[in-house]
Amino acid sequence: MKNIAYIGLGSNKGDKVNYLRKAVEKINTDKKCNIEISSSLYETKPLGNRTQENYLNAVIQISTGYTTIELFNFVKNIEKELGRSKTERWGDREIDIDILFYNDLIYSDEIITIPHKGIPNRDFVLVPLCEINSSLIHPELKQKICDINVADSEKCIIRKLLEKL
């Protein structure tokens, strides 16, 4: 398992902690994935439609034998297995799983963009990433994750929870 990927996880519908834990369990029990480290859980305000419930977000670092597209298909299948329903963009969801980084790859097509294009604008991704790897460099921006500042208007984190996934 030679590839290192960082995965963002979020849930704001139903038993949020349970959805996140089930997603982590499915990733970690797959023979081509191994979770190396997980961040704390963060309660965050939603993006877009602000009338929905707050999210719980976390980031995990995995080693994987999957290619980028295989990993994408794998995590999208986990979303389906856990009951994610189609909603509006930035709508509420049982589980959301995003590939944030895959090695130092910079790639984009009609299906996936790596690194995830929202990283520099989302404290709920930057803070947990910095927590688990303070020396991580964004391959496009050539900047340490911990040095990227999110504008005050974009800050979503309400609080860090004591528990981890």
At 154, give phi and psi (nearest 5°): -95, -5
Structure tokens at 111: 């299906």
Q: Which residues are catalytic?
A: 84, 93, 96, 98
User: How far apart are the C-alpha atoms of 113 and 82, rounded to whole Å?
Assistant: 23
Burial grade of 85 (CB within 10 A; 0-12, 13-18, 19 or more)? exposed
State whether residue 106 is helix, strand or coil.
coil
Helix or strand holding residue 128 (H, E): helix 123-132
- Roughly what angle, to the nearest 10 degrees, separates helices 68-81 and 16-29? 140
Strand-pair partners of 101? 6
